Amino acid sequence: MKIAILGGGSWGTAIAVLLSKKAYNVFVWDRNVTVLEEMKYKRQNPRYLPGVAVPENVNIGFSLEETIKNSDVIVIAVPSHAVRDLCLKIKDFVSENHIFVSLTKGIEDKTFKRMSEIIEEFFPNNKIAVLSGPSHAEEVSRDIPTAIVSASKDEDIALKVQDIFMTPNFRVYTNTDIIGVEIGGAVKNIIALAAGISDGLGFGDNTKAALMTRGIAEIARLGTALGANPMTFAGLSGIGDLIVTCTSMHSRNRRAGILIGKGKKVEEALSEIKMVVEGVNTTKSTYELSRKIGIEMPITEKLYNILFNGKDAKEAVTELMQRDKKDEIQYSAYFVR
């Protein structure tokens, strides 16, 4: 089997390393030629995944067309804002036999589409799956035990992708609730930013636990309103991904939040992280989507105002704590209110 990985960032590189150990014919393409040259000639990706060797059997594709044409599976591993442009670039090279696997987590600005929906817009006759769950590239590339979810509307494709990616240290479950899996993977980055801000402000474990718990309630309210199975948010792509992203220093979103909480402007924080912080754009698109469909997401709303309207973070926390009294279960993850 030939697998094309489009995107040579940390996650794309980690998956290339993972799949290379299964004797697949793996090709990696990235728009940054320097990244490709370092992977080809130095067998490293120091910009995105330092300290991890890129095996010799990971092929480097300098031609996007040739990389696509020589593949059976196309793995999308670019930032969410680049998915539409990438689909446009490859549309003339893709056959209906190609299987798409999206590793990208986000909600598109203005259209509010999930990543699989963007891919489906360009390739309506192709099979599409997504991989999501608590999985830092830094750990997956080093064979640290990890569990993740393969989701597709087509159960056979979810199972096929499960077989392709599963290894002794990379356990893959299946789920046909692609809506819930993608919403969980995207929106948890918002809560991770908020958790980082909490850390930066000097708050404690109680605060973070509250943010994470009420955060999963927001995620599930949005997801169920969009047609997801609420139980998905109790799984790896919901609570699982939320835990790892809110608590780990591997998380760009948490690290960016810490810097903002310590007083840095958003632009300064993003510049210091030096890689895409998906939660920033996702906060904007999710906030606008929640208003459009009438879903209450108070943490998302406060974070939106911090990021885009210059709201003081401590003031936002005070406002969250002093909201009108609520019943926990009435506003739980399993009800749309």
Distance CA 29, CA 36 (A): 7
Helix (H) or strand (E) holding 60, with range, is strand 58-60
Distance CA 67, CA 47 (A): 22
Residues contacting 17, CB < 8 A, separation 6+: 52, 53, 54, 55, 58, 140, 141
| Closest residue by Cα to residue 194 from 62, 79, 333, 306 | 306
Look-up of token digits 């392709």 = 164
Active-site residue flag, 188: yes
| Active-site hit among 113, 188, 208, 302 | 188
SS3 335: coil
- Give the Å distances, CA to CA, from 130 to 2, 153, 279, 288, 323: 18, 10, 18, 24, 37
Distance CA 266, CA 253 (A): 12
Q: What's the sign of the alpha-carbon dihedral 251, 256, 257, 258?
A: positive
Q: Which residues are catalytic?
A: 188
